[in-house]
Amino acid sequence: MNKLNNYKYVEIESFRAILAWWVVFSHVLGTAGFNYSNLVYPFNVLRNGSLAVNGFMIVSGFVIAHLIVTKKEAYIPYITRRFLRLFPLFMFVSLASVFIYKTLGVKSSSASYDTWGVNLLLNATMLHGMIPDQVMKDASRALINPGWSISLEWQFYLLAPLFFLKSKRGIMFLLLIAFSFLVTGGYLNRKSLDLNYPHASLLIFSIHYFMIGIFSYYLHEHLKNISLKIGIIESLLLAFLIFAVTRDYAISIWCLFFSIFLIGKCDTKSKFMTSKYLVSLGRVSYSTYLIHYVVISVLALELRGYFQKSTYELLISLMITTIVITVPVSFLLYKYVELPFIKLGKNYFKELEKRKLSNVNK
């Protein structure tokens, strides 16, 4: 794969790690009994893991834009690779969660035990996030709490190549950006369509985040050969300006990251963002994102017998044990579930290309 640039690609991995552990921390806070009402700023912002998920969407828009533009592969190879990237681990964790929850008697969500068979079938389509509560309660997150966003990613992957059609690309892209701001402005949302979703798991409600990622990619390509002296102060001012306009932490944080590490030519490269440990956590961030809630649910069942809810003792104990268990489990899932299927998709289509070239040369 023609990567963006070794240094920049590494920092995007690190950014994924930060977002994934933001989600973990938000769920630890919630499980320990700390909600918006009893948290002060900025911890009440950290409690909102959906902001980090919105950041993941922006990153996906950026990375998928790079993939489609540079790889230029047909739709079937593209979507097959994306499927093999998302589906195997998602279904493995879905099945594991049913087994663990039923064995230990853990209640993971408002979904009934009686509906878990149906939920598994819905998860197998990865379109479960499209189902509103009016049709089936909590279908988007019944087995895996963060699973709603996996459906959102899949919806985006299915349609993403349409955003890069060569005919009238410029006009279409401007229309998409305009539509994104329409959604951002709140003119089109869940309430206006009278649909009840626990999260914005239908693509039309979150498409502006993916579009921001796509727009950022084109901006990066336009500016990558220009030496810009953008420092921390300028980046912070830009992020504050973006926040003043959008009132969206995810967009502001992405702008901060983008201006410092993707278009700004900083004299001093961040040792933290290029740390091999943070990069490794970023590489397994998908596994971390999916498995952590199962880990937290099981640990909470055990720890609540020792600590009262909404106490710092429970919070610290839950955070430490979650880290100790989630990190190694994430690496194991990456090695034995994620990586084999990633390689399968990569090697299968490479082999097909070789056979085609061999037949042409005969």
pLDDT tens for each residue of 278-297: 999 999 999 999 999 999 99
- Mean of all residue pLDDT scores within the chain: 83
**Entry field: residues in the chain:** 362
The rounded percent of the chain whose pLDDT value lies above 90 is: 40
Q: Helix, strand, or coil here: 305?
A: coil
Please give the DSSP secondary-structure letter assigned to residue 114: G
Query: What's the CA gap between 182 and 276, in Å, rounded?
Result: 40
Query: What's the CA gap between 120 and 95, in Å, rounded?
Result: 8
Q: Residue 18 — pLDDT band, cuts 50, 70, 90?
A: very high
Q: How distant, in Å, are the alpha carbons of 62, 103, 145, 338, 351 from that of 29?
A: 30, 25, 15, 28, 47
Amino acid at 230: I
pLDDT, residue 178, reads 61
Question: Is pLDDT above 90 for 121?
Answer: yes
> Average pLDDT in the 189-216 region?
81
The rounded percent of the chain whose pLDDT value lies above 70 is: 81
> Average pLDDT in the 116-136 region?
91
Residue in the structure block whose two tokens are 């920092």: 11
Q: Render pLDDT for 226-282 as a digit per residue (tens, 0 to 9).
A: 766 677 788 888 889 888 888 889 999 999 898 888 776 554 456 778 888 999 999
pLDDT, residue 180, reads 60
> Average pLDDT in the 125-135 region?
91
- Contact between residue 296 and residue 109 where contact means Cβ atoms under 8 Å apart: no
